A = this chain, B = another copy of it.
């Protein structure tokens, strides 16, 4: 695996590659990332990963400084997973000047995650657009755990006419259902035991929708109550349609239930897709 530190070096290294599959990450890799790399590898071209903890997508009171950085272990995992090129710039190389040209997003950026993380999705969209311009992939892979991020990036690519296929990778879970996440490392042992409640609550919400319960507000309230009576502080539970995460209309079949909740310090997010009968 060749490691490139600067945009110029990366561009130069990739200039003769005609089929690039790309897995952008913030490092601290787990089995979810590795499964994205496996999907990228299966495309048969050149597999490129990136590691960059993007300051633009963290709010002033968020965990940018404490976000786990494990570069050596990450390189080993990527190498073992068969990545050909790793782009791992420093902040100074990626943002040599204050980033004043950014991606402006539609109103969905202020809902769900965006309501609790102002500016987050603009930061995500901007870093990914720059990464796409540097790596120039034909296909890029993002985990479904960050469902709103995946939706934002998919819509950005279509609206900005980028010739890139966006693929969502299934969320990888521990045996008890907890979605893998770098932020799980901040759970206490008791928190870790409690954490799968989020997945179970989402599962019950999904069951209720699939049973035909159309009172989404009640479903959302029940799930939040289940969490909050067990020590969680829930930001939201929301049943939305998959395409743009707006409130479902009666005819919308492809739905997703999303949640974000704090368990002590760590803030966990998760979601489950579903298709109801038409």
Is A159's CB under 8 angstroms from B11's CB? no
* Copies of this chain: 2
B101 touches A159 (CB 8 A): yes
Contacts of A231 in B (CB 8 A): none
Residues in B neighbouring A130, C-beta threshold 8 A = 160-161
Whole-angstrom distance from the CB of A54 to the nearest CB of chain B?
13
Say whether B163 contacts A11, CB under 8 Å: yes
Cβ A155 vs Cβ B105 within 8 A: no
Residues in chain B near residue A105, CB distance under 8 A: 100-101
Is B104 within 8 A of A159, CB to CB? no
Number of interface residues of A (CB under 8 A): 26
Closest Cβ–Cβ distance, residue A19 to chain B (whole Å): 13
The interface residues of chain B lying within 8 Å CB-to-CB of A163 are 11, 133-134, 136
For A161, the chain B residues whose CB sits under 8 A away are 7, 130, 133-134
| Whole-angstrom CA separation of A50 from B53 in the bound complex | 38
A167 proximity list for chain B (CB < 8 A): none
Q: Which residues of A contact B (CB under 8 A)?
A: 7, 11, 97, 99-106, 122, 125-126, 129-130, 133-134, 136, 155-156, 159-163
**Which 5 pairs show the lowest CB-CB distances between chains A and B?**
A100-B106, A104-B104, A101-B159, A102-B104, A133-B161
